[in-house]
């Protein structure tokens, strides 16, 4: 977490506030753990926040922008939120804590690129079921409930679950 | 304003808008729940990318028009997408073949565009490559399954290819604006991509047991605003709300 925040230039006094803003589609995950906040700078009572989308068409970005403004305004700051595209978001920016939160929520966290490719082509059974932990899982579709996820099902416990696709 | 840059951005953006709209038409109409969701997810990615392009185009044009105005309020002849992406959804084999023929090009194109001198275009490309890699994986995978599937799916995929192949050459045509942008190091020299594209596609089609039609005659015109009859209907659908209730907002 610490490393990611340093990488993202977020002023320390803003962390407790931003930590409470979550991804509307994955409510267990704070936007800091998700890595979408690239910078947050205070000057006086004004805050400049830069966020980056996970996927270009991610409909959650508008809501995230609004939620950031609301949270910071409540804490007495006036806020400007800017959307930046470069450098492009990568699943590497999801923190360890974030990956754990995803898994607990029922979304298998992203694998490394090579493993991800094998999994999404259905060549290897390596994505772990978030319900029972079995790797006897099968790809149902490369695109799931949102742009960032693929759909899997477990052949042991028969439960379907989402897999967060690797993006590098 | 930089007229050539504006036109160049639209040349990229309109492909994403029109194909995104085509795929969006499948929402609730896909052959299965999974493919329905996949097609609309790809549509969403393309719409996301297109917003970035149109925002940039609005900034370059600097004439008071917003990204929405540019997307929604031009006339048919002012859209400069390639003819391939406006072809209608007939059956799933057709949708997938159209998708693969575009994805293979799109990926090669973005790989070059990320090295553009233009910072904004380079940033959009870097972001989009990641998404389009998934699109290409999806469409190539399905084309193999359909081509090398049952007799029926093979026949449909081959029929689709026989019709759609004639639209592939236009992907590499260059307008005056394209050439001006290539000279400035902003645009992608698509002529250099043609051979790579043909090789890649041939290889995939071989795996899919499909054959490239022998005809050497190709369709063109989209990049100059001369479209097939299908685009007008698509735009009528796309623009209906803005034309009927100008300036409406959700």
* Unique residue bearing structure tokens 């290409």: B136
Q: pLDDT at residue A5 above 70?
A: no
> Is B138 part of any domain?
yes
Print the SS3 string covering chain B. CCHHHHHHHHHHHHHHHHHHHHHHCCCCCCCCHHHHHHHHHHHHHHHHHHHHHHHHHHHHHCCCCCHHHHHHCCCHHHCCCCHHHHCCCCCHHHHHHHHHHHHHHHHHHHHHHCCCCCHHHHHHHHHHHHHHHHHHHHHHHHHHHHHCCCHHHHHHHHHHHHHHHHHCHHHHCCCHHHHHHHHCCCCCCCHHHHHHHHHHHHHHHHHCCCCCCCCCCCCCCHHHCCCCCHHHHHHHHHHHHHHHCCCCCC
Residue B112: how many other CB atoms lie within 10 Å: 15
Residue B225, Ramachandran bin (φ over 0: left; ψ between -120 and 50: alpha; else beta): left
- Give the residue on A whose Cα is nearest the Cα of B123: A86
Is there a contact between A142 and B127 if contact means CB atoms under 8 Å apart?
Answer: no
Q: Residue A49, SS3?
A: strand
Confidence (pLDDT) at A4: 54
Number of independent structural domains in chain B: 1
Count of residues in chain A: 168
Q: What percent of chain A has pLDDT above 70?
A: 96
How far B110 CA lies from chain A's nearest CA (Å)? Answer: 14
Q: In what order do the strands lie in the sheet with A137-141?
A: A107-108, A160-164, A149-154, A137-141
Which among B37, B46, B40 is positioned nearest to B17, based on CA atoms?
B46
B128 neighbourhood in chain A, CB within 8 Å: 56
> Is B201 part of any domain?
yes
* Unique residue bearing structure tokens 């490719």: A117
Domain that holds residue B133: 3-244
Could you tell me the pLDDT band of residue A146, with boundaries at 50, 70 and 90? Answer: confident
Is there a contact between B128 and A57 if contact means CB atoms under 8 Å apart?
Answer: no
Is there a contact between B45 and A140 if contact means CB atoms under 8 Å apart?
Answer: no
pLDDT 10s digits, A23-79:
888 888 999 999 999 999 999 999 999 999 998 888 889 899 999 999 999 999 999
State the pTM of this model: 0.92
* Unique residue bearing structure tokens 């509307």: A24
pLDDT by residue for chain B (250 residues), tens digit each?
A: 899 999 999 999 999 999 999 999 999 999 999 999 999 999 999 999 999 999 999 999 999 999 999 999 999 999 999 999 999 999 999 999 999 999 999 999 999 999 999 999 999 999 999 999 999 999 999 999 999 999 999 999 999 999 999 999 999 999 999 999 999 999 999 999 999 999 999 999 999 999 999 988 999 999 999 999 999 999 999 999 989 998 887 7
> Is B220 part of any domain?
yes
Arithmetic mean of pLDDT over chain A: 90
Count of residues in chain B: 250
The sign of the CA dihedral B41, A86, A117, B18 is: positive
* ipTM computed for the complex: 0.84
Could you tell me the pLDDT band of residue A13, with boundaries at 50, 70 and 90? Answer: very high
Confidence (pLDDT) at B207: 97
Is there a contact between B134 and A142 if contact means CB atoms under 8 Å apart?
Answer: yes
A144 neighbourhood in chain B, CB within 8 Å: 37
Mutate to test the interface with B, among A52, A56, A116, A162 (most CBs of B within 10 A): A56
> Is B81 part of any domain?
yes
B91, HSE (Cβ side, Cα atoms, 13 Å): 14
Confidence (pLDDT) at A25: 84
CA-CA distance, A86 to B38, in Å (whole number)? 26
> Is B249 part of any domain?
no
Is there a contact between A141 and B126 if contact means CB atoms under 8 Å apart?
Answer: no
- Cβ–Cβ under 8 Å, residues B187 and B181: yes
> Is B250 part of any domain?
no
The domain that holds B133 is classified in CATH as 1.20.1260.10
Q: What is the CA radius of gyration of chain A?
A: 17
Q: pLDDT at residue A3 above 60?
A: no
Of A57, A120, A151, the CB nearest to B48: A57
- Give the residue on B whose Cα is nearest the Cα of A150: B38
């Amino acid at each position: 977490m610490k490393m990611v925040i340093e990488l993202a230039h977020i002023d320390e006094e803003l962390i407790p506030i931003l930590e409470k803003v979550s991804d509307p589609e994955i409510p267990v995950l704070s936007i800091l753990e998700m890595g979408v906040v690239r910078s947050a700078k205070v000057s006086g009572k004004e805050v400049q926040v830069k966020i980056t989308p996970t996927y270009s068409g991610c409909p959650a970005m508008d809501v995230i922008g609004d939620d950031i403004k609301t949270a910071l305004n409540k804490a007495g700051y006036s806020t400007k939120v800017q959307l930046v595209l470069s450098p492009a978001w990568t699943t590497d920016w999801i923190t360890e804590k974030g990956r754990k939160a995803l898994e607990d929520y029922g979304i298998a966290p992203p694998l490394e690129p090579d493993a991800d490719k094998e999994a999404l082509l259905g060549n290897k059974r390596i994505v772990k079921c978030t319900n029972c932990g079995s790797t006897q899982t099968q790809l149902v579709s490369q695109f799931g409930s949102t742009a960032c996820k693929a759909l899997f099902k477990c052949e042991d416990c028969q439960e379907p679950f989402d897999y967060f696709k690797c993006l590098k | 304003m930089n007229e050539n840059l504006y036109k160049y951005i639209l040349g990229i953006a309109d492909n994403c808008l029109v194909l995104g709209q085509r795929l969006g038409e499948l929402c609730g109409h896909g052959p299965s729940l999974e493919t329905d969701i996949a097609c609309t997810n790809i549509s969403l990615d393309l719409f996301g990318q297109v917003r970035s392009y149109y925002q940039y185009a609005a900034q370059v044009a600097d004439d008071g028009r917003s990204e929405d105005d540019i997307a929604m309020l031009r006339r048919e002849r002012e859209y400069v997408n390639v003819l391939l992406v406006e072809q209608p959804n007939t059956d799933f084999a057709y949708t997938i073949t159209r998708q693969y023929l575009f994805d293979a090009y799109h990926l090669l194109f973005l790989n070059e565009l990320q090295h553009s001198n233009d910072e904004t275009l380079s940033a959009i490309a870097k972001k989009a490559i990641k998404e389009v890699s998934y699109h290409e994986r999806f469409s190539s995978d399905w084309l193999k399954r359909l081509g090398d599937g049952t007799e029926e799916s093979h026949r449909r995929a081959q029929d689709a290819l026989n019709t759609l192949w004639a639209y592939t050459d236009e992907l590499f045509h260059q307008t005056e604006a394209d050439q001006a942008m290539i000279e400035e190091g902003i645009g992608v020299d698509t002529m250099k991509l043609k051979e790579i594209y043909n090789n890649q596609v041939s290889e995939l089609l071989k795996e899919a047991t499909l054959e490239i039609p022998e005809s050497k005659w190709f369709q063109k015109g989209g990049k100059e605003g001369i479209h097939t009859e299908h685009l007008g209907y698509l735009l009528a659908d796309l623009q209906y709300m803005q034309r009927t209730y100008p300036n409406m907002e959700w």
